[in-house]
Every structure is written in C-alpha cells, then in structure tokens.
A and B are shown apart, each in its own frame.
Chain A
C-alpha cells in the first residue's frame, strides 16, 4: 500500500481552478519529485497534502487513512512534515528552541508544571533539547544551536527547517524548493543530507524543485504539474523527454527534438508561466 495517495484533488480559488483532478502516489521509502512551471500549482498541492488548504474536490489518503478533513497539526503529528518555500523559521528564537517546538510534540508536561517548575515540566524540556541536539547533529548544525535563527543566512535557515522537520519523526517529508538559491556544491551537499535522512529515518520524500538535474539525481519517480493538471509522470528521464512537458516549459511544441542537451537547456531556462502568449523567450530557446 502506498504511503500517500492523492486522488482526484481539485482546488478552486474563486474563479481560478488552481488544481484539477490531480492524482499521485508516494510509496514507502521513495523520493518523489514534483516539477512544473511557476504557477503550475505545486505549492497549492503541497498545502492540500499538509492541510493548510482544504481541497475542494478529491481526497488525500495517508497510510491507508483518509485525512482530507484533518487539520494541519493533526497531520503533522500523524507524520507529515514539511519545509516552506519562503522559510518559516521562528526568527526570534534560538535554533535549539526552533527544533524543540517540534520535538515537544512527543513530550509530556502541562502549563501548571511549567509555571511551577515541577520535575515533569523540566524533564519535558530536557527531552526536547536532547532530541533537538540529535537532529541538529544529524544535519550538521549542532554548533548553531544557540544562535538566533533569524540571524542565520537563508541557506542555513533551510537546514534548520529540515532539522526541525526531522524532530517530528515524520513518515513523509514535503520539501518545497528546499534547495533553491543554493549553488551546485551546496545543492549536492543538501541532497546528500536529505538522502541520508531518508535512510536513517526511513521516510518518504516528496520534493518540489526547479533544478532538473537535482531531481534526476535523487528522485525515484517524478510528476509534472502544469496549469493545475498532472501533465506527465515517470522517471526523471522519461518526463523530461516527454514532448508535452517540453511544450509546457518552452511554450510551443518543438518539432525536431535535437537531443537531450537541448531539452535540458530548455528546462533549465527560467520557466515562464505565461510563455504561451509571449514570443520573446520562445525564440530565445529555439536559438
């Protein structure tokens, strides 16, 4: 049985159909890529999976249970962790406290114990700090635990978000452009950490990324979303060869495929959401 099944999900914002009949599955232990031009609905799909937005149609099944109606925090506790495209570190708090907020989902303790410094409250604090330390050490940011998270550069904050997600002990990790803005060396390191985390924590990962070579390197399976609809699926090589995918990225069908290198250039070029109506980028790609 697949870990995550998205079945016929649709999402409408007023007159805009952001997602239409989207279905996908993530099996246990897989790293699944989700690509598509800007505005294709990738983050909206993430929000439907993590519970930030209720889908207007369809359902989300996690570990055999229909979780479509569950609120965000319940899904998080059930094992769906995520990072955000715009990092959401708790910027005034230390890295340790950022991680502890997640780790505390597994500790006991209550307000009265906390206010009166009862042993149970102190124990909860120690446990959470220890879990935070372990997660930070795994990612390699243990030396930053006492730093205020908002003082860190964004690349580091992404690592904090990843460590924080691990503190939830998730079964499924949703990464929303977690490697964007990193150079190729940083990206490679980050991918290495993610794969190591997948193995150590036995998670599945669903990864939104624009960096097609990265997706090709790490993902077992890839979905392509365009204009809110699932355009293609398969291995990374299969989908990048798919003429429909290339049309979505370049804005017109390419009559004569000129080999893989060109496809890659096309995919690497900044995807244009409205490429269909603009002539500029299209010609640049052809040239």
Chain B
C-alpha cells in the first residue's frame, strides 16, 4: 500500500486535469448538444500559446497563464460564433469540431514543430513534503486544490447564479428557453468560452507531467470523453468521479502491467464498461439511427451514383458512365506520360480512395460513424505483412485473408454501435482507433520486432508489378473493382437493408430485420474494404508499418469523404485526389494537408451541403433541366437533423 500511495496521488493529479477538460466538454454538450472533438486540440493550442509567452519570450508566469486562458476563451467563442451557431442539429456541428481538431493540430505543428522536445512550463515548485509517511509534491497539492476549487465553483455557479440557472434551462430545452425570452445564444457562447478556457488551463497544468507535443494533448479528448461518459455527458459530479478513477487507474495499472499504450487502452476499457452497464438504448428512442452530415442522408441512395440512377434516365446514365470511363482513361494516360513519382502519388490516392469507400459503406449507407477506419487499414496491412514475411504466403492470398481478419475485427469494434449512436459512437470508435495506434500497433506479435514487416510488391502470373507505373495500375484496378462491388451492394437486397437501418431502426426491426446484426454486417463489410486498402498501402510502401495509419488518418478519412460526398461512390476518387494529388500540386509542406482539410471541411459543412458530389449533382441537374426534389438536395437537412436533436 505504501508503494501505491504516491501513484494514487499522481493519479488524482492526472484525474484533476481530465476533470478540467471534461467539465468543459459536459457544459458544451449540455448547451449545444455537441461532443466537442476539438476540446483537446483547443487545450493543446492554448498551452502552446502559454509556452510561447512564458518559455520563449520569458514573460512572467501569471501573466502568461492568464493571457493563455483568455486566449482559450476567445478560441471557444470564435468556434461557437462562426462555425457552430450557423448550423442546426448536432451532427454537422460535430463534423465542424473535427475540422477544428485537424486545423488546430496542424496549425500548432506548423507554428511550433510537430514533435520534438519542448521545454515544459513549470508553474509550481516540484518539491516534496512528507505527509503520513510518503512524499507529496507541492505542485501536486496545488493542482488538486485548483481543480477542486474550480469544479466546486462551477457546481455552485450552476445552482445559484442566474447564469447557471439559465444555462440549465437552455440545456434542458433550448427552444422553450428561447420562447421564455432567455438569451440562449449568449449562454451557449459562454459555455464554449468556459470550455476553451478550462481546456487550456488543463493543458498548461498538465504540461510538466506530459510530453508537450501537438498530438499527445490533442488526444486529451479521448480521456476527457471517457470521464464524461461516466456521467453520461450530463452529470458534473459523476464526470468528476470518472476523471479521478481514470487518472488513478492509469497510474496504478502500469505498476503491475507495463506495456506501451496502456493509458489509451484503459480509456477504452472504461468506455466499454460504462457502455456495458448503462441501460441499453431502447429502439423506440427518439434518436434516429443515422449520421446526417448536412443532408447526406437526404441525398437518397441511387440519386448521386452513376450506376444507381433510375433506369428510365438512360441518357443520363450513359453520360455518367462515359464521364467515368473518360476520367479513368485520363488518369492512365497521365500515369504513362508523367514522371514515375507521380505514379506513387496516384497509387496512394487510389488506396486512400479505397479507404474512403469503406467510410461511404459504413457511414454513407448504414449511418454508423467510425473514427477507427485507419486502424482497420493498419490491421489489414500488418496481418498481410506478417503472413507474407513470417508464413511466406503469396501477397495475393495474404491480402484476402487479412481482409477477412479485419472484417472480424470490424465486428468487434462495431459492438459499441449496439449501445451508442451518432456522436457517441464517433468518440468511442475514436478512442478505439487511438488505442490501436498506441497499444495494438506496438504489440510485437502483430507488428514484428522492428515494428514493421518489409516485403516486395508481388508479381501476378509472372508479370512483374514492382515498378511504380505497373503498381499504380494494380491499385486503380482494385479501386474500380471495389467501387463496382459497392455499387452492386447498394442496389441489392443487402444495400437496401443497410440503408433502412440509417433511415429508421424502428421501422427496420418492425419489418422483420435484426438491426444489431445489420449494423455489425456494415462494420464487417467496411472493415473488409479498409483491410484491403491497408494491404495495398503496405505493398505500395513495400512494407507494413504504423506510420501511415495513425489516428489522424481516420479523422482525415471521414473529413475528406464528407467533403467529397459521403453517400457517393465516385466521390471517393475525388477524396483520394484531395488527400494526395492536390497537396502535391499546391506544393504544400508537411502539415499543410491537414490544415487545408480542416479548413475545407468547415467551409463545406457551412456552405456546400452534400459535398462535391452534391454540387456535381446540382450542375448535372441543371444540364438536364430537371431539378431534384428538395429533399434530395439536402435543403431540408435542417429539418431532418432537428429531428435527431
């Protein structure tokens, strides 16, 4: 016990930081109905602002901290005022926070360097004093005291002040609050400011005990969310308790079980336990099944697809097919004439497009959000590598086997979808993706001794495919094959059942279909596609390693697929080009791509419902002189998403 005491104290300190971050998360959720994915990124950015002032410029610490926390509040206000307030319904808003996550993270990386050592911000003396036989740091006691004071203050303010009472009214029912004449927008903006300030404060206080880098602190969101989930994102005291439990576990468990990534692993375990013990959401719950990315759902199946349009529009279909064939031909000609480094770029674009296709299937068809798609890709890559290198299997056998294994993994990762929906599912899968990134992809059994498997690109029927020009053709062929399969799927029995789950879980089950099994089927099919994509990525790199599959890739995947059009199969090609071809054309440096992705994502959600595919559909409709129904164009998105609010 004596040995454990310091660990428990350190755990409470860590839990205090989680508590600060998650209190902001809960307040924002209660007023805006949004899980703020950028909470960790906002804290990270604010912390770097403090670091700039205190460590780089040598300003006095109190001034630096106060200014940075104020900066955090301003950041929260800007996010709310310009990108949250104009949107209706939780899901587009959540997508916007994903955009901010990418932007803040890439922006901080460009300003202050993506990784590498940053001097810590030491606010308080790290001197120990002895209490009851063991040493406690003065800094630790101060941190705990600050957190307790802030949490108590917020709880008191919610109970007693008029701001708190108004806030509770707004979180209860924003429309009624408005009708009562309460200034709901002001309250909402206030919670975002508090959220930004608390996240920044948590980041600054956390920095002496954590590596100060852009990724680690962005990931604070998964820890904060795990804590908030204990309070079902509503209860502040339970959230506080959850934060403490998580912090203590994360400090105590490694004493008995040392492994890289334990911290992320434990956050996922906590989430799963909470989901398990929480009441199963009734089918009759008022939430729809889906993830409506501003009219994504409204742009019905078969409307955007070349292959899926009603057969009566033969001319239209022929034109679409011709346009598709011309695009493929143009790419192949370009590959033949351009330098071979372009071939690699396009091969990566094709594999990314395949990853985007897995998002279209899962999110576009079934309406389930997964932020673990890059983890699926990585798993597929590593299993392929292990089978090729260790078992000596042919790549062409290893790839489908790995994809099948990934499909099974997809079922496991999909299990929370039976308990959590929409944005909650998004965060749970994000935490799982992070756990894969940090924990699973560090297991020697899967990734090999050096963390990677090296193998050559395969040949097929004696044809050597190892050159870049040959390999890009393979990647494009696979992409087209899978796009064909996905289009078949959409127009088939299975596809209609999967879409039905997105439309109404209630109706689907009342029409004789087991919703849970359909969701898991969606996860399996999607993971299968992602696993193949991962295997192709590995072959393109001539080796499987974790680098191309970190959790940010998952966010980029869903962000870019949303930009391109989340229900559209041809749009995945646009997604691939956006990720790999466009940055090369623009000549941006590392990190610019994420910054651009985040920025374009926010603009798209605000200005261009339905994404690129939606815009193309509008142009096409103008060409044929027919306007699709309002619902198809997503103009009723506000209504639709309101229903889910």
Contact = CB atoms under 8 A, between A and B. Distances in A.
A151 B310 CA distance: 17
A115 B485 contact: yes
A198 interface: no
Interface core residue of A50, A104, A105 (most chain B CB under 10 Å): A104
Given A88-B506, A92-B300, A93-B499, A111 B494 contact: yes
A84 interface: yes
Nearest to B514: A73
A60 interface: no
Contacts of A110: 494
Given A90-B504, A148-B632, A73 B509 contact: yes
A77 interface: yes
Contacts of B302: 94
A114 B492 contact: yes
Residue of A52, A100, A115, A124 contacting most chain B CB atoms (<10 Å):
A115
B513 A90 contact: no
Contacts of B497: 101, 104
Contacts of A25: none
B629 interface: yes
A109 B502 CA distance: 21
Contacts of B283: 52, 72
B480 to A, nearest CB: 14
B492 A150 contact: no
B629 A151 contact: yes
Which residue among A47, A105, A111, A113 has the maximum number of chain B CB atoms within 10 Å of its CB? A111
B64 interface: no
Interface in A76-91: 76-77, 81-82, 84, 88-91
B510 A92 contact: no
Given A92-B298, A97-B496, A101-B496, A73 B513 contact: yes
Interface residues of A, number: 44
Overall SS of chain B's interface: helix
A90 B510 contact: no
A113 B282 CA distance: 33
B315 interface: no
B485 A116 contact: yes
Nearest to B298: A92
Contacts, number: 137
A94 B300 contact: yes
A154 B73 CA distance: 46
A91 B631 contact: yes
Interface in B490-504: 491-497, 499-500, 502-504
B607 interface: no
A93 B510 contact: no
Nearest to B297: A92
A114 B508 contact: no
A53 interface: yes
B141 to A, nearest CB: 43
Contact of B503 (A50, A84, A90): A90
B500 A105 contact: no
A247 interface: no
Interface in A45-75: 47, 50, 52-53, 71-73
A31 to B, nearest CB: 20
Contacts of A92: 297-301, 499, 502-503, 631
B509 A148 contact: no
A71 B282 contact: no
Contacts of A77: 512
A100 B492 CA distance: 10
Nearest to A122: B492
B404 interface: no
A125 interface: yes
B305 to A, nearest CB: 13
Interface string B276-301: 00000011100000000000011111
A107 interface: yes
Most buried by A among B504, B507, B510: B510
Nearest to B301: A93
A45 B283 CA distance: 16
Interface string A115-159: 111000100110010000000000000000010101100000000
Nearest to B494: A114
Contacts of B629: 148, 151
Contacts of A94: 300, 302
B282 A101 contact: no
A115 B506 CA distance: 26
Given A90-B499, A114-B494, A150 B512 contact: no
Contacts of B494: 109-111, 114-115
Contacts of A84: 506-507, 510
B496 A93 contact: yes
B489 interface: yes
A230 to B, nearest CB: 23
A148 B300 contact: yes
Contact of A148 (B493, B499, B515, B631): B631
Contacts of B504: 88-91
B634 to A, nearest CB: 10
B503 A72 contact: no
A105 B285 CA distance: 24
A102 interface: yes
B240 to A, nearest CB: 26
Interface in B258-273: none
| Shortest beta-carbon contacts, A-B, top 3 | A90-B503, A114-B492, A76-B512
17 contacts: A53-B282, A72-B509, A77-B512, A88-B510, A92-B298, A92-B299, A92-B301, A94-B300, A97-B499, A101-B500, A101-B508, A104-B496, A110-B494, A114-B493, A116-B488, A121-B488, A121-B493
Given A52-B509, A109-B493, 8 more contacts: A52-B506, A88-B510, A89-B504, A101-B496, A101-B508, A109-B494, A111-B489, A168-B511
